[in-house]
């Protein structure tokens, strides 16, 4: 079993950035010049900034980015593919590998040392020689305490999975009992518009810990490769100047970033004062 921790995931920018096509798309709408002349025009940082600040971000959809990711858990995969326009190629977990597929997991470090106890009937247990455990215990001891941690759970699932493979059960069926901690690897493709929208939600402190880690790493790569497109990208509070979560605002942000309701109240007070 290969084990990694939340935060260890890796993100690579495969394509995107460098030459920015948003300004070509923006010029195309209103320019009377020929397409060749538009394409030959010098890049305009100011035009890109104006398009983004205006909120008319359709032109931003002509810049596309492809990322490769690994070292993230299925917990994050489920959230990743929700509610955003994107392309995904996710490494198959059902293809037959004849037991050669490594059992890789990603977990938060704070659950590693946690243990729980369960009372189990003694008659469930046998020794290696086939004799019952109850035969070796004093009369009346019909229950035993099983103390186990995350390591024990994962080891049990791995052994169960490998036994199934050895017995010829299809891996696409065995994977139904794999934990959400199972690592997934993927290629992600998004245009700049979808990315900017995605960053607003997933870079927020209210986002689940691991997908926020993924989003922040993707954001840093975008800022490095296309700074004009992503200068103001980030969580909603960066773009809006306030937090739209209101009563659901993250506790770390309370008193530091005004909520939408507080912003509206401030605007009304200023309007009334005028």
Catalytic positions: 202
- 32 DSSP assignment: -
Q: CA of 73: how far to CAs of 10, 86, 209, 231, in Å?
A: 12, 19, 11, 29
Length of the chain: 274
- 182 DSSP assignment: B
What is the secondary structure of 226-248 as a DSSP string?
A: -HHHHTT-SSHHHHHSSBTTGGG
Q: What is the CA radius of gyration of the chain?
A: 27
Q: How many whole angstroms separate alpha carbon 199 and alpha carbon 197? A: 6
| b/e per residue 243-274 (b: at least 16 CB within 10 A) | bebeeebbeebeeebbbbeebeeeeeeeeeee
Which residue shows structure tokens 């934990």? 179
């Amino acid at each position: 079993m290969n084990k990694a921790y939340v935060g260890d995931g890796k993100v690579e920018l495969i394509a995107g950035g460098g030459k920015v096509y948003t300004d070509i798309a923006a010029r195309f709408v209103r320019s009377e010049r020929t397409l060749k002349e538009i394409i030959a025009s010098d890049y305009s940082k100011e035009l890109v900034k104006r398009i983004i600040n205006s909120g008319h971000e359709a032109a931003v959809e002509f810049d596309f980015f492809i990322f490769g990711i690994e070292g993230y858990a299925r917990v994050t995969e489920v959230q990743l593919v929700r509610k955003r326009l994107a392309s995904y190629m996710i490494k198959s977990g059902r293809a037959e590998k004849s037991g050669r597929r490594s059992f890789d997991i990603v977990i938060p470090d704070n659950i590693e040392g946690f243990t729980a106890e369960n009372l189990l009937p003694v008659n469930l247990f046998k020794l290696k020689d086939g004799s019952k455990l109850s035969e070796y215990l004093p009369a009346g001891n019909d229950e035993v305490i099983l103390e186990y941690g995350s390591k024990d759970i994962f080891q049990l699932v791995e052994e169960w999975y490998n036994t199934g493979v050895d017995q010829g059960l299809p891996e696409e069926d065995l994977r139904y009992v794999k934990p959400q901690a199972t690592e997934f690897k993927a290629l992600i493709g998004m245009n700049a518009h979808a990315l900017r929208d995605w960053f607003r939600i997933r870079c927020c402190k209210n986002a689940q810990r691991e997908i926020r880690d993924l989003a922040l790493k993707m954001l840093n790569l975008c800022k490095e490769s296309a700074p004009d497109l992503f200068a103001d990208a980030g969580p909603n509070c960066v773009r809006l100047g306030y937090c739209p979560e209101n009563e659901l605002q993250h506790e770390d942000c309370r008193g530091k970033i005004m909520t939408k309701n507080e912003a509206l109240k401030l605007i009304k007070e200023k309007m009334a004062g005028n």
